[in-house]
Amino acid sequence: MSERAHTTRTGTSTTDSVRVRGHDMINDLVGRYSYTEMLYFLTCGSFPTPPQVRVLDACIVTLMEHGLTPSAVISRLMADSVPEEPQVAIAAGLLAIGSVYAGTTESCATLLQEIAEREAKGERDIHRTIARAYAAQRKPVPGFGHGTHKPDDPRTPRLFEIARDNGCHGAFVASLLALQVEVDQAFGRHLTINATGAIGALLLEIKVPVAAMRAFSVVSRAGGLVGHLLEEQSQHSARAIWAAAKRDIRYTEEP
């Protein structure tokens, strides 16, 4: 039995050319397409429409920077520790993107897909059922709530506005808004749709695979961390962060 041949459709290079998904990079792609368009192309297999580009651009910009988040703090500490290796600082910061910070987009999108599938089967009151189930288990609903932005995440309305202006405000956004009503009711208080929740709905609207969504968050935040890295080189705030930890986290021998 012969071994299966392994292939790639993503890209290849020779001594005088680079091919990317059937296109000549030098003559077909460079200077013709933006970074956002190429990100979509490499992920989805087709070039995005102008409205899809505007929505994806908005999502990437939204997640690029959010102050001294754990990822930024980690990058600054690493930049202070190994200043000659910028890739180490950025890579270390990106490791903080996950189910708590910035990486919840895919969880919200998965939930919205589940709702759509159950609706297609004729199930009723799905949003209410899901909201009550999370409330009963005292579990956070993916895409809802924020530690800083209360009562509402100011980024979310702007993202929905851009989606609406570009004809990408469809069934998934409507489903997320319907879920918000039921979440507030089930939890007995208002929980904002946060930016990652809104982005989950928008990326579904422009047909980005759920499997790529956390990677998109990583790509976005990497750009923001470059700014923190450069600022750290001149301000050395990592030393202040370290000093604050030593001052405020006290040693004790009590269990």
Residue matched to tokens 């397409």: 33
Kindly report each contact of residues 183-189 with a partner whose C-beta sits within 8 Å and lies 24 or more positions away, as own/partner: 183/131, 183/134, 183/135, 183/141, 183/144, 185/128, 185/131, 186/128, 186/131, 186/132, 186/134, 186/135, 187/131, 187/135
Q: Other C-beta atoms within 10 Å of 132: how many? A: 16
Contact assessment for residue 82 and residue 88, using Cβ atoms and an 8 Å cutoff: yes
In angstroms, what is the C-alpha Rg of the chain?
22
Sheet holding 23-24, edge to edge: 11-13, 18-20, 23-24
Residue-level pLDDT, tens digit, the chain, 255 residues: 557 889 999 999 999 999 999 999 999 999 999 999 999 999 999 999 999 999 999 999 999 999 999 999 999 999 999 999 999 999 999 999 887 777 789 999 999 999 999 999 999 999 999 999 999 999 999 999 998 999 999 999 999 999 999 999 999 999 999 999 999 999 999 999 999 999 999 999 999 999 999 999 999 999 999 999 999 998 899 999 999 999 999 999 988
Dist CA 225 CA 63 (whole Å): 11
Q: For the residues of 60-80, what is the DSSP string, one character each?
A: HHHHH--SS-HHHHHHHHHHH
Type of residue found at 26: I
Backbone angle region of 197, left / alpha / beta, with phi > 0 → left and psi within -120 to 50 → alpha? alpha
pLDDT at 37: 98
Q: CA torsion sign, 181 to 183 to 188 to 194?
A: negative
CA distance 137 to 135: 5
Query: Could you tell me the pTM of the whole model?
Result: 0.92
| pLDDT given for residue 2 in this prediction | 59
| Three-state helix/strand/coil letters over 198-248 | HHHHHHHHCCCCHHHHHHHHHHHHHHHHHHHHHHHHHHCHHHHHHHHHHHH
Q: Which one, of 210, 237, 211, 213, lies nearest residue 79 by Cα? A: 237
